[in-house]
Amino acid sequence: MTNYIIRRLLIAIPTLLVISFVIFAVLGLAPGDPMSQFGRNPNVPEEVRENIRRSLGLDRPWYERYFLWLNNVLTQGDLGFSFNSRVPVTDLIAQRLPQTLWTVGIAYLVALSIAVPIGVISAVKQYSWFDRIATTMAFVGFSIPSFAIGLLVILIFAVNLRWFPLIYDTTIQVVDLESFTKQLRQIIMPVMVVAIQQSADVTRYLRSSMLDNLPLDYVRTARSKGLRESAVVIRHALRNSLIPVIALMSLGVPAIFTGAIITETLFRVNGIGELLIRSTQLSDTPVVMAITFIYAVLVVLFNLVADVAYATLDPRIRYS
Amino acid sequence: MSEANRAIDSTTTPVITDVRKIGDISQRPPRTLWGDARRRFLKHRLAVLGSLVIIFFTLAVLVGPSIYTVDREALNFDVPTMAGPTWEAPMGTDDLGRDILARALFGGRVTLAVGVTAMLIAILVGTIVGSISGFFGGYLDQLLMWITDTFLSMPTLPLFLLIVYLFRDTLTRALGPETGIFLLVVSVIGLLTWMPTARVVRASFQTLKHREFVEAATCLGVGPLAIMFRHILPNVMSPIIVAATLGVGTAIITESTLSFLGVGFPPDLPTWGRLVTDGQNFLELAPHMSLLPSLLIFLTVLSINFIGDGLRDALDPRSRL
């Protein structure tokens, strides 16, 4: 098992290198210049512009800058300085990454706790009214763009019902019960948006996986030795059905972060997605590069976790 | 074929009627793969409904602007601005008094065209990569699958944003604002979503390349390219068709997401995603401005997904009896 994990890690490294190179190449080959807004100002003399470009390291070709960047990342964990705020990128990201991970993490737990029971009941009572409603809802959830869910959620819960605040307050420090409930109230809507879409996906996967497993011999054996139906379904069928679901879930990881970017922009949550959108508009290359790379790392990391979980759960998978 | 067998097998009825039955069956036109698929598709009620919705939307955006002739850019301050749906303006008006239906009919052309074109690019790339990978195997397969996996780990939305944002101005200058951005958005979506198709096609090629009909073709001296594209590929069509259908939905969602984040088409090209963004700031005062275009996107994607579901059931050879 340890061997398998090590081998998977070794495969992940070249993947990340290639992805970082591609992102850097896109940024480097792009005709856009961080100085372009500045450059349109006729009052800035040519020499000053050149000096600024040199101080930002922009006078060198992009591939040279890539190896410089890679070297700094690998040796010192240094992602450079933001062009816009002159703050180390690592500081900016350290401030914002927790919010993103919290939103995504809570949303995922919520999604699983909604999707697993629905998927199981749907499959056990196939073609019942519950199954029909659940499958239709899953179809709806998976066809609706996340910004539309977001707008609908805002309209219902913030504008009409006034249950939750419209705009995320980034200054709340959780110290006591009152600030905790405040934080809880404002995180519900962003979490809902990511969770609705994820639970739709997981419900569909789990239902079809359960339907594949329920007619199998081992389920009949479990029933014929007199086990309770709940034990047959949960302890026998569900456990086996979850294995392919985990593999499919890893493919959905990029989609989760996409959803998170939309929610963060929509609710103005101060996560890395919101920073990415803002930095893209400001042509703040180091920040954009770093955040895109962090998304890549997260995607590869979660894929790895899913693969390892898959291999651990399914004894039929040989990882030698 | 199978029905004829069953008729012969059931010997409970007198022999004479059996002969007549067989005669009846032989007079019926033979069942074909596509005929069966069509019959099964028509039984899938939601898929048929979805097809009707898509046909309606396509006709509406193609012919609609010439029937519904309200000027989509006319600033009209005689009518109430940000008014909800009325008989004069069935989808309401926006903050400048412009008719939203007229804008949606025109912008829908772009939205649907982006969906279809991006899907075609993704399917083309996916099919080529998948068939080469599955047919030739070996190192080529390993390399291509490694590339596919790398693309699957790419953070797609950040990359979309980056590429569109960075290359937008150059392409706009070179090809004009509409063609330039259309080509950019379509190719970026196509080139970042071909991976699932490649995997499906590869898997099908791997199972099919050892079948007898391929062996027969090889013995007849058919070259590898002809075997790949004339003999194996037609047998892989069903998963490709399903992937293509679902791909249109993904592309439409992606385009509207890009527009929503402000990196899509310019404001004078009101795609449905753009209309949602424009209306977003007036959510409290005029919810119809963003919700009705969202509904259009949602209905389109939902219908496409139902069609995809129906096609999957209809084209699955295991369900063919």
Measure B175 CA to nearest chain A CA, in Å.
15
Given CB atoms, is B169 within the 8 Å cutoff of chain A?
Answer: yes
The span from the first CA to the last CA of chain A, in angstroms, equals: 8
What pTM did the predictor assign?
A: 0.82
- Closest by alpha carbon to A285, among A16, A66, A39, A50? A66
Token pair recorded at residue B117: 């074109």
Span B56-80, average pLDDT: 75
Q: Are the C-beta atoms of residues B249 and B304 closer than 8 Å to each other?
A: yes
CA nearest to B288, candidates B80, B94, B81, B61: B94
- Enter the ipTM: 0.81
B16: helix, strand or coil = helix
| DSSP H/E element including A80 | none
Confirm or reject contact between B142 and chain A (CB < 8 A): no
Query: What is the pLDDT, as a whole number, of residue B8?
Result: 44
B151 touches chain A (CB under 8 A): no
Of A27, A258, A300, the CB nearest to B157: A258
Instruction: Round the average pLDDT of chain B to a whole number and report it.
Output: 80
- Residues from chain A that touch B273, judged by Cβ atoms under 8 A, are 145
Neighbours of B79 (CB within 10 A): 14
CB-closest option in A19, A147, A280 to B260: A147
Residues 6 or more apart whose CB falls under 8 angstroms from that of A197 comprise A141, A142, A144, A146, A149, A255, A259
By CB neighbour count within 10 A (0-12 exposed, 13-18 middle, 19+ buried), where does B84 fall?
middle
Q: Chain A closest CA to B113's CA: distance in Å?
A: 18
Could you tell me if A140 lies within 8 Å of chain B, comparing CB atoms?
A: yes
**pLDDT confidence of residue A169:** 72
DSSP letters along B33-53, please? HHHHHHHHHHH-HHHHHHHHH
R_g of chain A computed on alpha carbons: 24
Of A30, A145, A299, the CB nearest to B167: A30
For helices A129-143 and A177-213, angle between their N-to-C axes, nearest 10 degrees = 120
Distance CA A38, CA A52 (A): 10
Q: Characterise A314 by phi-psi region: left (phi > 0), alpha (psi -120 to 50), beta (else).
A: beta
**pLDDT score at B138:** 85
3-state SS class at B80: coil
Distance CA B59, CA B68 (A): 13
Answer yes or no: do B302 and A292 touch at CB < 8 A.
no
DSSP state of B317: G
B11 three-class SS: coil
Q: Which of the two residues, B146 and A58, has the higher pLDDT score?
A: B146
pLDDT tier, B292 (very low <50, low <70, confident <90, very high otherwise): confident
B contact test, residue of A143, A167, A250, A253 with most B CBs within 10 A: A143
Question: What residues of B are in contact with residue A211 (Cβ under 8 Å)?
Answer: none
Q: Using the predicted structure, report yes or no on whether residue B4 has a pLDDT greater than 50.
A: no
CB atoms within 10 A of CB B148: 20
Q: Which residues of A touch B291 (CB under 8 A)?
A: 151-152, 155
Q: Is the pLDDT of residue B11 over 50?
A: no
pLDDT in tens, A31-89: 655 555 555 566 667 677 677 667 666 667 777 778 888 887 787 777 777 777 778 88
> Could you report the per-residue pLDDT of B195-205, keeping only the tens digit for each?
888 988 898 88
pLDDT confidence of residue A117: 92
Distance from CA of B313 to the nearest CA of A (A): 14
Whether chain A has a CB inside 8 Å of the CB on B287: the answer is yes
Distances in Å between the Cα of B311 and the Cα atoms of A233, B36, B114, B314 are 31, 12, 22, 5
A26/B280 touch (CB, cutoff 8 Å), yes or no: no
Name the stretches of chain A with pLDDT < 70: 30-44, 46, 49, 52-53, 55-59, 317-320
Give the A:B interface size as CB pairs under 8 Å: 124
Which range, B81-90, B206-215, B260-269, has the best average confidence (pLDDT)? B206-215
Residues 221-250 (B) with a CB less than 8 A from some CB of A: 249
| Residue B158 tokens, joined | 């950040």
